[in-house]
A = this chain, B = another copy of it.
Amino acid sequence: MEHNYLYLNIAEAIASQIRSGVLREGDKLPSVRMLCAEHEISMNTAKRVYLELETQALIESKPQSGYFVSNLYYDEIPLPQVSSPILLANNKEPKEIIRKVYSNMGNRDITLFSYSTLYDDFLPLAKMKKEIVAASRAMVHGGVEYDSVQGNINLRRMIAQRSITWGGSLKEDDIITTNGSMSAISLCMLALGKPGDTIAIESPCYPGIFQLAIDLGFKVIELPTDPVTGIKIDALREAVDHIDMCLLISNYNTPLGSCMPDENKKEIVELLDKHDIPLIEDDVYGDMYFGTQRPKCCKAFDKTGNVLCCSSVSKTLAPGYRVGWVSPGKYKNKIMHQKLVHLISTPPLMQEAVASFMKSGNYDKHLRKLRKDIYSNYQKYLNTIITSFPLGTKVNRPQGGLSLWIEFDPRVDAMDLYDLAIAEKISIAPGRMFTVQEQFQNSIRLCIGLPWSAEVEYKLKRVGELSKQLLHNE
Protein backbone atom coordinates (compact mmCIF):
# COMPACT_ATOMS: atom_id res chain seq x y z
CA MET A 1 0.00 0.00 0.00
CA GLU A 2 1.54 3.25 -1.00
CA HIS A 3 -1.27 5.80 -0.55
CA ASN A 4 -0.50 8.76 1.65
CA TYR A 5 -3.95 9.04 3.17
CA LEU A 6 -5.76 6.79 5.57
CA TYR A 7 -9.08 6.98 3.70
CA LEU A 8 -7.38 5.79 0.50
CA ASN A 9 -5.86 2.84 2.32
CA ILE A 10 -9.22 1.75 3.62
CA ALA A 11 -10.92 2.32 0.25
CA GLU A 12 -8.23 0.26 -1.47
CA ALA A 13 -8.70 -2.59 1.00
CA ILE A 14 -12.43 -2.69 0.27
CA ALA A 15 -11.84 -2.32 -3.49
CA SER A 16 -9.47 -5.25 -3.43
CA GLN A 17 -12.12 -7.37 -1.65
CA ILE A 18 -14.58 -6.48 -4.42
CA ARG A 19 -12.07 -7.24 -7.18
CA SER A 20 -11.15 -10.58 -5.66
CA GLY A 21 -14.79 -11.58 -5.22
CA VAL A 22 -14.79 -11.58 -1.39
CA LEU A 23 -17.46 -8.91 -1.66
CA ARG A 24 -19.94 -9.59 -4.45
CA GLU A 25 -22.55 -7.71 -6.44
CA GLY A 26 -25.41 -6.48 -4.24
CA ASP A 27 -23.58 -7.13 -0.95
CA LYS A 28 -24.38 -4.50 1.65
CA LEU A 29 -21.44 -2.59 3.08
CA PRO A 30 -21.09 -1.50 6.71
CA SER A 31 -22.86 1.77 7.55
CA VAL A 32 -20.73 4.87 7.81
CA ARG A 33 -21.06 4.69 11.61
CA MET A 34 -19.88 1.05 11.64
CA LEU A 35 -16.96 1.88 9.38
CA CYS A 36 -15.90 4.56 11.89
CA ALA A 37 -15.94 2.06 14.71
CA GLU A 38 -14.18 -0.69 12.73
CA HIS A 39 -11.25 1.49 11.69
CA GLU A 40 -11.31 4.04 14.52
CA ILE A 41 -11.76 6.87 12.07
CA SER A 42 -13.87 10.04 11.99
CA MET A 43 -17.28 10.28 10.26
CA ASN A 44 -15.67 12.56 7.71
CA THR A 45 -12.98 10.03 6.83
CA ALA A 46 -15.52 7.23 6.58
CA LYS A 47 -17.61 9.30 4.17
CA ARG A 48 -14.55 9.95 2.03
CA VAL A 49 -13.89 6.18 1.85
CA TYR A 50 -17.32 5.56 0.34
CA LEU A 51 -17.13 8.63 -1.90
CA GLU A 52 -13.87 7.26 -3.29
CA LEU A 53 -15.38 3.84 -3.96
CA GLU A 54 -18.43 5.44 -5.59
CA THR A 55 -16.12 7.47 -7.89
CA GLN A 56 -14.52 4.19 -8.90
CA ALA A 57 -18.02 2.86 -9.67
CA LEU A 58 -17.36 -0.05 -7.32
CA ILE A 59 -20.24 0.73 -4.94
CA GLU A 60 -23.49 2.66 -5.11
CA SER A 61 -25.64 4.26 -2.43
CA LYS A 62 -29.36 3.53 -2.18
CA PRO A 63 -31.40 6.20 -0.37
CA GLN A 64 -32.47 5.11 3.16
CA SER A 65 -30.67 1.76 2.74
CA GLY A 66 -26.93 2.40 2.66
CA TYR A 67 -24.05 1.32 0.39
CA PHE A 68 -24.01 -1.76 -1.86
CA VAL A 69 -21.47 -3.38 -4.16
CA SER A 70 -22.28 -2.29 -7.72
CA ASN A 71 -23.74 -4.48 -10.34
CA LEU A 72 -20.46 -5.11 -12.16
CA TYR A 73 -21.41 -8.08 -14.36
CA TYR A 74 -17.68 -8.74 -14.70
CA ASP A 75 -17.75 -12.43 -14.13
CA GLU A 76 -20.58 -13.05 -16.54
CA ILE A 77 -18.74 -11.69 -19.57
CA PRO A 78 -16.48 -14.14 -21.37
CA LEU A 79 -12.85 -13.33 -22.16
CA PRO A 80 -11.67 -13.14 -25.77
CA GLN A 81 -10.17 -16.36 -27.12
CA VAL A 82 -6.52 -17.29 -26.88
CA SER A 83 -5.22 -16.41 -30.35
CA SER A 84 -4.29 -19.24 -32.70
CA PRO A 85 -2.20 -17.77 -35.51
CA ILE A 86 -0.61 -19.92 -38.20
CA LEU A 87 2.84 -20.82 -36.90
CA LEU A 88 4.70 -19.79 -40.05
CA ALA A 89 6.39 -16.53 -40.93
CA ASN A 90 3.78 -14.30 -42.50
CA ASN A 91 4.02 -10.79 -43.86
CA LYS A 92 0.46 -9.81 -44.77
CA GLU A 93 0.89 -6.31 -43.44
CA PRO A 94 -2.43 -4.46 -42.96
CA LYS A 95 -0.95 -1.32 -44.50
CA GLU A 96 -4.16 0.22 -45.81
CA ILE A 97 -6.05 -0.25 -42.54
CA ILE A 98 -3.16 1.23 -40.54
CA ARG A 99 -2.96 4.20 -42.91
CA LYS A 100 -6.71 4.76 -42.59
CA VAL A 101 -6.77 4.61 -38.80
CA TYR A 102 -3.59 6.65 -38.22
CA SER A 103 -4.68 9.42 -40.59
CA ASN A 104 -6.88 10.78 -37.78
CA MET A 105 -4.10 10.89 -35.16
CA GLY A 106 -4.39 14.15 -33.26
CA ASN A 107 -7.73 15.11 -34.87
CA ARG A 108 -9.73 16.19 -31.84
CA ASP A 109 -12.98 16.65 -33.80
CA ILE A 110 -13.11 12.89 -33.61
CA THR A 111 -13.60 10.76 -30.48
CA LEU A 112 -10.33 8.83 -30.51
CA PHE A 113 -10.77 5.40 -28.99
CA SER A 114 -8.19 4.13 -31.47
CA TYR A 115 -4.84 5.28 -30.03
CA SER A 116 -3.12 3.96 -26.95
CA THR A 117 -2.32 7.31 -25.43
CA LEU A 118 -3.54 9.59 -22.63
CA TYR A 119 -5.37 12.83 -23.30
CA ASP A 120 -6.04 16.13 -21.54
CA ASP A 121 -6.37 16.04 -17.75
CA PHE A 122 -4.56 12.72 -17.51
CA LEU A 123 -1.29 14.49 -18.45
CA PRO A 124 0.28 16.99 -16.01
CA LEU A 125 0.67 19.69 -18.68
CA ALA A 126 1.20 22.69 -16.37
CA LYS A 127 3.72 20.87 -14.18
CA MET A 128 5.75 19.75 -17.17
CA LYS A 129 5.85 23.29 -18.56
CA LYS A 130 7.40 24.35 -15.25
CA GLU A 131 9.91 21.52 -15.41
CA ILE A 132 10.98 22.55 -18.92
CA VAL A 133 11.53 26.14 -17.84
CA ALA A 134 13.46 25.01 -14.76
CA ALA A 135 15.55 22.54 -16.80
CA SER A 136 16.50 25.11 -19.42
CA ARG A 137 17.72 27.33 -16.57
CA ALA A 138 19.44 24.57 -14.61
CA MET A 139 21.50 23.13 -17.45
CA VAL A 140 24.90 24.74 -18.09
CA HIS A 141 24.23 25.21 -21.81
CA GLY A 142 20.43 25.20 -21.50
CA GLY A 143 20.25 21.97 -23.47
CA VAL A 144 21.54 23.77 -26.57
CA GLU A 145 24.80 21.79 -26.86
CA TYR A 146 25.13 18.12 -27.86
CA ASP A 147 24.36 15.54 -25.21
CA SER A 148 26.67 12.55 -24.74
CA VAL A 149 25.80 9.54 -26.89
CA GLN A 150 24.62 7.49 -23.88
CA GLY A 151 22.24 10.25 -22.77
CA ASN A 152 21.48 12.58 -19.86
CA ILE A 153 23.13 11.35 -16.69
CA ASN A 154 20.40 12.61 -14.34
CA LEU A 155 17.72 10.73 -16.24
CA ARG A 156 19.80 7.56 -16.37
CA ARG A 157 20.32 7.83 -12.62
CA MET A 158 16.58 8.10 -11.98
CA ILE A 159 15.77 5.17 -14.30
CA ALA A 160 18.37 3.13 -12.44
CA GLN A 161 16.90 4.09 -9.05
CA ARG A 162 13.40 3.25 -10.20
CA SER A 163 14.44 -0.17 -11.53
CA ILE A 164 13.93 -1.53 -8.01
CA THR A 165 10.15 -1.13 -8.52
CA TRP A 166 10.16 -3.88 -11.19
CA GLY A 167 12.69 -6.15 -9.53
CA GLY A 168 15.77 -4.72 -11.25
CA SER A 169 19.03 -3.37 -9.87
CA LEU A 170 20.31 -1.27 -12.76
CA LYS A 171 23.14 1.21 -12.57
CA GLU A 172 23.14 4.47 -14.55
CA ASP A 173 25.76 3.01 -16.85
CA ASP A 174 23.39 0.17 -17.80
CA ILE A 175 21.00 2.57 -19.55
CA ILE A 176 20.98 4.33 -22.92
CA THR A 177 18.38 7.04 -23.57
CA THR A 178 16.37 7.13 -26.81
CA ASN A 179 13.60 9.09 -28.58
CA GLY A 180 10.81 7.13 -26.92
CA SER A 181 10.29 3.39 -26.67
CA MET A 182 9.79 2.71 -30.40
CA SER A 183 13.11 4.42 -31.07
CA ALA A 184 14.66 2.07 -28.48
CA ILE A 185 13.08 -0.95 -30.18
CA SER A 186 14.26 0.33 -33.57
CA LEU A 187 17.86 0.57 -32.31
CA CYS A 188 17.62 -2.95 -30.86
CA MET A 189 16.31 -4.46 -34.10
CA LEU A 190 18.90 -2.58 -36.17
CA ALA A 191 21.66 -3.81 -33.85
CA LEU A 192 20.59 -7.44 -33.51
CA GLY A 193 19.06 -8.44 -36.81
CA LYS A 194 19.67 -8.60 -40.51
CA PRO A 195 17.30 -9.11 -43.43
CA GLY A 196 16.05 -12.67 -43.57
CA ASP A 197 16.16 -13.09 -39.78
CA THR A 198 13.02 -14.24 -38.00
CA ILE A 199 11.41 -12.47 -35.05
CA ALA A 200 8.76 -13.99 -32.78
CA ILE A 201 6.05 -11.66 -31.46
CA GLU A 202 2.72 -11.83 -29.62
CA SER A 203 -0.53 -12.28 -31.57
CA PRO A 204 -2.24 -9.79 -31.69
CA CYS A 205 0.63 -7.31 -31.53
CA TYR A 206 1.13 -3.52 -31.59
CA PRO A 207 1.45 -2.78 -35.34
CA GLY A 208 4.47 -0.45 -34.98
CA ILE A 209 6.49 -3.50 -33.99
CA PHE A 210 5.76 -5.75 -36.98
CA GLN A 211 5.86 -2.82 -39.41
CA LEU A 212 9.37 -2.04 -38.23
CA ALA A 213 10.42 -5.70 -38.41
CA ILE A 214 9.02 -6.19 -41.92
CA ASP A 215 10.61 -2.95 -43.05
CA LEU A 216 14.00 -4.21 -41.90
CA GLY A 217 13.46 -7.38 -43.93
CA PHE A 218 12.74 -9.68 -40.98
CA LYS A 219 10.32 -12.57 -41.14
CA VAL A 220 7.60 -12.31 -38.52
CA ILE A 221 6.19 -15.27 -36.58
CA GLU A 222 3.14 -14.56 -34.43
CA LEU A 223 2.65 -16.89 -31.48
CA PRO A 224 -0.56 -17.82 -29.64
CA THR A 225 -1.20 -15.36 -26.82
CA ASP A 226 -3.54 -15.60 -23.84
CA PRO A 227 -5.53 -12.46 -22.95
CA VAL A 228 -4.63 -12.94 -19.29
CA THR A 229 -1.14 -14.50 -19.17
CA GLY A 230 0.38 -13.42 -22.48
CA ILE A 231 2.42 -15.44 -24.94
CA LYS A 232 2.07 -19.24 -24.71
CA ILE A 233 5.35 -20.72 -23.55
CA ASP A 234 4.80 -24.06 -25.27
CA ALA A 235 4.41 -22.33 -28.62
CA LEU A 236 7.57 -20.32 -28.05
CA ARG A 237 9.44 -23.48 -27.08
CA GLU A 238 8.41 -25.13 -30.34
CA ALA A 239 9.43 -22.07 -32.37
CA VAL A 240 12.76 -21.57 -30.67
CA ASP A 241 14.88 -23.32 -33.29
CA HIS A 242 13.43 -21.16 -36.06
CA ILE A 243 13.77 -17.68 -34.61
CA ASP A 244 16.63 -15.17 -34.25
CA MET A 245 15.05 -12.81 -31.75
CA CYS A 246 11.88 -12.36 -29.72
CA LEU A 247 9.94 -9.24 -28.74
CA LEU A 248 7.37 -9.14 -25.95
CA ILE A 249 5.26 -6.43 -24.35
CA SER A 250 5.41 -8.21 -21.03
CA ASN A 251 3.10 -6.06 -18.90
CA TYR A 252 -0.44 -4.97 -19.93
CA ASN A 253 0.39 -5.30 -23.56
CA THR A 254 -1.54 -3.65 -26.31
CA PRO A 255 -3.98 -4.60 -27.74
CA LEU A 256 -4.61 -7.71 -25.61
CA GLY A 257 -4.00 -6.28 -22.12
CA SER A 258 -2.27 -9.46 -20.94
CA CYS A 259 0.36 -9.46 -18.20
CA MET A 260 2.78 -12.35 -17.99
CA PRO A 261 2.98 -14.03 -14.53
CA ASP A 262 6.41 -13.97 -12.89
CA GLU A 263 6.96 -17.69 -13.46
CA ASN A 264 6.28 -17.29 -17.19
CA LYS A 265 8.72 -14.41 -17.39
CA LYS A 266 11.41 -16.41 -15.64
CA GLU A 267 10.85 -19.47 -17.82
CA ILE A 268 10.93 -17.47 -21.06
CA VAL A 269 14.06 -15.55 -20.11
CA GLU A 270 15.84 -18.84 -19.34
CA LEU A 271 14.55 -20.55 -22.47
CA LEU A 272 15.70 -17.76 -24.78
CA ASP A 273 19.03 -17.37 -23.03
CA LYS A 274 19.69 -21.10 -23.38
CA HIS A 275 19.18 -20.79 -27.13
CA ASP A 276 21.10 -17.53 -27.37
CA ILE A 277 18.09 -15.64 -28.72
CA PRO A 278 17.97 -12.01 -27.56
CA LEU A 279 14.72 -10.88 -25.91
CA ILE A 280 13.58 -7.32 -26.61
CA GLU A 281 11.14 -6.40 -23.86
CA ASP A 282 8.78 -3.43 -24.15
CA ASP A 283 7.63 -2.26 -20.70
CA VAL A 284 5.89 1.05 -21.49
CA TYR A 285 2.73 0.10 -19.58
CA GLY A 286 4.34 -1.49 -16.50
CA ASP A 287 3.79 1.55 -14.26
CA MET A 288 0.05 1.67 -15.09
CA TYR A 289 -1.20 -1.15 -12.85
CA PHE A 290 -4.68 -1.11 -11.33
CA GLY A 291 -3.88 -3.18 -8.28
CA THR A 292 -1.44 -2.54 -5.45
CA GLN A 293 1.71 -4.06 -6.92
CA ARG A 294 3.78 -3.20 -9.94
CA PRO A 295 4.47 -6.28 -12.09
CA LYS A 296 8.10 -7.29 -12.58
CA CYS A 297 9.89 -7.09 -15.91
CA CYS A 298 11.44 -10.05 -17.75
CA LYS A 299 14.66 -8.08 -17.22
CA ALA A 300 14.35 -8.83 -13.49
CA PHE A 301 15.05 -12.52 -14.27
CA ASP A 302 17.91 -11.81 -16.68
CA LYS A 303 21.17 -13.22 -15.31
CA THR A 304 23.23 -13.08 -18.50
CA GLY A 305 22.39 -9.68 -20.04
CA ASN A 306 20.33 -11.27 -22.81
CA VAL A 307 17.25 -9.06 -22.24
CA LEU A 308 17.06 -5.58 -23.77
CA CYS A 309 14.39 -3.79 -21.74
CA CYS A 310 12.84 -0.76 -23.50
CA SER A 311 10.56 1.81 -21.93
CA SER A 312 9.56 5.47 -21.97
CA VAL A 313 7.39 8.13 -20.34
CA SER A 314 5.22 8.37 -23.48
CA LYS A 315 2.32 6.43 -21.98
CA THR A 316 2.35 7.92 -18.49
CA LEU A 317 3.66 11.48 -18.71
CA ALA A 318 4.60 13.21 -21.96
CA PRO A 319 4.24 11.46 -25.33
CA GLY A 320 5.52 14.54 -27.17
CA TYR A 321 8.83 14.67 -25.29
CA ARG A 322 10.02 11.48 -26.97
CA VAL A 323 11.95 10.44 -23.86
CA GLY A 324 12.63 6.73 -23.71
CA TRP A 325 15.46 4.36 -22.88
CA VAL A 326 16.80 0.84 -23.15
CA SER A 327 18.72 -1.33 -20.69
CA PRO A 328 20.59 -3.35 -23.30
CA GLY A 329 22.47 -5.81 -21.10
CA LYS A 330 25.39 -7.43 -22.92
CA TYR A 331 24.41 -5.69 -26.19
CA LYS A 332 25.33 -2.23 -24.87
CA ASN A 333 28.15 -1.46 -27.31
CA LYS A 334 26.01 -2.47 -30.28
CA ILE A 335 23.15 -0.23 -29.20
CA MET A 336 25.47 2.71 -28.47
CA HIS A 337 26.85 2.36 -31.98
CA GLN A 338 23.37 2.31 -33.52
CA LYS A 339 22.34 5.38 -31.55
CA LEU A 340 25.44 7.24 -32.68
CA VAL A 341 25.01 6.47 -36.36
CA HIS A 342 21.25 6.99 -36.59
CA LEU A 343 20.71 9.83 -34.11
CA ILE A 344 24.11 11.05 -32.80
CA SER A 345 22.38 11.96 -29.53
CA THR A 346 18.95 12.82 -28.09
CA PRO A 347 17.73 16.23 -26.84
CA PRO A 348 19.04 16.70 -23.28
CA LEU A 349 16.43 19.28 -22.23
CA MET A 350 13.40 16.98 -22.19
CA GLN A 351 15.45 14.28 -20.45
CA GLU A 352 16.55 16.72 -17.76
CA ALA A 353 12.94 17.89 -17.23
CA VAL A 354 11.71 14.30 -16.83
CA ALA A 355 14.62 13.45 -14.50
CA SER A 356 13.84 16.43 -12.31
CA PHE A 357 10.12 15.53 -12.21
CA MET A 358 11.10 12.04 -11.09
CA LYS A 359 13.64 13.21 -8.53
CA SER A 360 11.22 15.60 -6.81
CA GLY A 361 8.79 12.74 -6.15
CA ASN A 362 6.21 14.37 -8.38
CA TYR A 363 6.31 11.54 -10.89
CA ASP A 364 5.35 8.98 -8.26
CA LYS A 365 2.63 11.29 -6.98
CA HIS A 366 1.38 11.73 -10.55
CA LEU A 367 1.48 7.95 -11.14
CA ARG A 368 -0.51 7.25 -7.99
CA LYS A 369 -3.27 9.59 -9.06
CA LEU A 370 -3.09 8.43 -12.67
CA ARG A 371 -3.45 4.76 -11.76
CA LYS A 372 -6.53 5.52 -9.70
CA ASP A 373 -8.03 7.70 -12.43
CA ILE A 374 -7.32 5.22 -15.20
CA TYR A 375 -8.75 2.39 -13.17
CA SER A 376 -11.90 4.37 -12.54
CA ASN A 377 -12.03 5.24 -16.24
CA TYR A 378 -11.58 1.58 -17.12
CA GLN A 379 -14.51 0.56 -14.97
CA LYS A 380 -16.77 3.14 -16.57
CA TYR A 381 -15.76 2.03 -20.07
CA LEU A 382 -16.17 -1.62 -19.15
CA ASN A 383 -19.57 -1.14 -17.51
CA THR A 384 -20.83 0.75 -20.54
CA ILE A 385 -19.54 -1.93 -22.90
CA ILE A 386 -21.15 -4.64 -20.84
CA THR A 387 -24.50 -2.87 -20.77
CA SER A 388 -24.54 -1.46 -24.34
CA PHE A 389 -22.72 -3.94 -26.56
CA PRO A 390 -24.47 -6.97 -28.10
CA LEU A 391 -24.96 -10.09 -26.00
CA GLY A 392 -22.11 -12.53 -26.60
CA THR A 393 -19.47 -9.83 -26.91
CA LYS A 394 -16.22 -10.91 -25.27
CA VAL A 395 -13.99 -8.41 -23.43
CA ASN A 396 -10.57 -8.68 -21.86
CA ARG A 397 -10.16 -7.76 -18.20
CA PRO A 398 -6.71 -6.05 -18.10
CA GLN A 399 -5.15 -5.36 -14.72
CA GLY A 400 -3.41 -2.25 -16.08
CA GLY A 401 -2.60 -0.32 -19.23
CA LEU A 402 -4.91 1.33 -21.71
CA SER A 403 -6.28 -1.39 -23.97
CA LEU A 404 -9.66 -3.06 -24.16
CA TRP A 405 -9.74 -5.94 -26.64
CA ILE A 406 -13.28 -6.67 -27.75
CA GLU A 407 -14.30 -9.76 -29.67
CA PHE A 408 -17.71 -9.54 -31.34
CA ASP A 409 -19.92 -12.26 -32.72
CA PRO A 410 -18.17 -13.55 -35.88
CA ARG A 411 -20.90 -11.94 -37.97
CA VAL A 412 -19.70 -8.45 -36.99
CA ASP A 413 -17.01 -7.30 -39.42
CA ALA A 414 -14.74 -4.84 -37.59
CA MET A 415 -13.91 -2.94 -40.79
CA ASP A 416 -17.62 -2.34 -41.44
CA LEU A 417 -17.93 -1.20 -37.84
CA TYR A 418 -14.96 1.12 -38.34
CA ASP A 419 -16.63 2.71 -41.38
CA LEU A 420 -19.95 3.19 -39.60
CA ALA A 421 -18.23 4.66 -36.54
CA ILE A 422 -15.90 7.05 -38.36
CA ALA A 423 -18.96 8.45 -40.21
CA GLU A 424 -20.15 9.49 -36.73
CA LYS A 425 -16.72 10.90 -35.85
CA ILE A 426 -15.76 7.94 -33.68
CA SER A 427 -12.43 6.21 -34.29
CA ILE A 428 -11.84 2.59 -33.26
CA ALA A 429 -8.98 0.22 -34.18
CA PRO A 430 -10.04 -2.89 -36.15
CA GLY A 431 -8.44 -6.15 -35.01
CA ARG A 432 -6.85 -6.84 -38.40
CA MET A 433 -4.51 -3.90 -37.67
CA PHE A 434 -2.74 -5.98 -35.05
CA THR A 435 -1.67 -8.98 -37.10
CA VAL A 436 0.13 -9.92 -40.32
CA GLN A 437 -2.31 -12.79 -40.88
CA GLU A 438 -5.98 -13.04 -41.72
CA GLN A 439 -7.45 -13.08 -38.21
CA PHE A 440 -9.29 -10.89 -35.68
CA GLN A 441 -11.81 -9.77 -38.32
CA ASN A 442 -14.49 -9.51 -35.62
CA SER A 443 -12.29 -7.87 -32.95
CA ILE A 444 -11.45 -4.25 -32.15
CA ARG A 445 -9.10 -2.45 -29.79
CA LEU A 446 -10.69 0.30 -27.77
CA CYS A 447 -8.36 2.49 -25.71
CA ILE A 448 -9.35 4.21 -22.49
CA GLY A 449 -7.08 7.26 -22.67
CA LEU A 450 -9.93 9.76 -23.09
CA PRO A 451 -11.23 10.91 -19.69
CA TRP A 452 -14.83 9.89 -19.06
CA SER A 453 -17.47 12.44 -20.05
CA ALA A 454 -21.06 12.52 -21.28
CA GLU A 455 -19.65 12.78 -24.82
CA VAL A 456 -17.35 9.77 -24.38
CA GLU A 457 -20.19 7.77 -22.83
CA TYR A 458 -22.53 8.63 -25.70
CA LYS A 459 -19.95 7.75 -28.38
CA LEU A 460 -19.05 4.50 -26.68
CA LYS A 461 -22.71 3.50 -26.53
CA ARG A 462 -22.96 4.34 -30.24
CA VAL A 463 -20.19 1.83 -31.01
CA GLY A 464 -22.31 -0.77 -29.25
CA GLU A 465 -25.45 0.24 -31.13
CA LEU A 466 -23.62 0.20 -34.47
CA SER A 467 -22.29 -3.30 -33.79
CA LYS A 468 -25.86 -4.45 -32.98
CA GLN A 469 -26.99 -2.91 -36.25
CA LEU A 470 -24.35 -4.95 -38.13
CA LEU A 471 -25.46 -8.08 -36.33
CA HIS A 472 -29.12 -7.57 -37.23
CA ASN A 473 -28.39 -6.65 -40.84
CA GLU A 474 -26.71 -10.00 -41.23
Contact = CB atoms under 8 A, between A and B. Distances in A.
A208 B344 contact: yes
Interface in A120-179: 123, 125-126, 128-129, 132-133, 136-137, 141-149, 179
A290 to B, nearest CB: 24
A80 to B, nearest CB: 27
Contacts of A341: 182, 186, 208, 211-212, 215
Contact of A318 (B144, B320, B343): B144
A136 B144 contact: no
A321 interface: yes
Contacts of A340: 102, 208, 211
A317 B144 CA distance: 8
A320 B194 contact: no
A144 B347 contact: no
A350 interface: yes
Contacts of A346: 179, 322
Interface in A316-364: 317-322, 337-338, 340-350
Contacts of A215: 190, 337-338, 341
A346 B182 CA distance: 12
A257 interface: no
A144 B319 contact: yes
Which of A117, A190, A320: most chain B Cβ within 10 A?
A: A320
Interface residues of A, number: 55
A322 B343 contact: yes
A343 B183 contact: yes
A13 to B, nearest CB: 34
Interface in A279-319: 317-319
A142 B129 contact: yes
A342 to B, nearest CB: 4
A180 interface: yes
Interface in A195-225: 195, 208, 211-212, 215, 217
A95 to B, nearest CB: 9
A106 interface: yes
Interface string A85-124: 0000000000000000010011000000000010100010
A51 to B, nearest CB: 30
Nearest to A178: B343
Contact of A320 (B144, B180, B217, B322): B144
Contacts of A102: 149, 340
Nearest to A338: B215
A125 B142 contact: yes
Contact of A349 (B117, B320, B345): B320
B132 A136 contact: yes
Interface string A73-90: 000000000000000000
Contact of A345 (B125, B217, B322): B322
Contacts of A208: 340-341, 344
A169 to B, nearest CB: 27
Contacts of A143: 132, 320-321
Contacts of A179: 179, 343, 346-347
Contact of A132 (B123, B132, B182): B132
Contacts of A147: 320
Nearest to A207: B341
Interface in A405-431: none
A190 to B, nearest CB: 7
A342 B182 contact: yes
A182 B344 contact: yes
26 contacts: A102-B149, A102-B340, A106-B148, A126-B142, A128-B144, A132-B143, A133-B133, A143-B320, A143-B321, A144-B317, A179-B179, A179-B343, A180-B344, A182-B342, A183-B342, A186-B342, A194-B217, A195-B195, A195-B217, A208-B340, A321-B347, A322-B343, A322-B346, A322-B347, A347-B350, A349-B350
Interface of A: 102, 105-106, 117, 119, 123, 125-126, 128-129, 132-133, 136-137, 141-149, 179-180, 182-183, 186, 190, 194-195, 208, 211-212, 215, 217, 317-322, 337-338, 340-350
**Nearest 8 pairs of A and B residues by beta carbon:** A186-B342, A129-B142, A212-B341, A146-B319, A144-B318, A129-B136, A132-B136, A211-B341
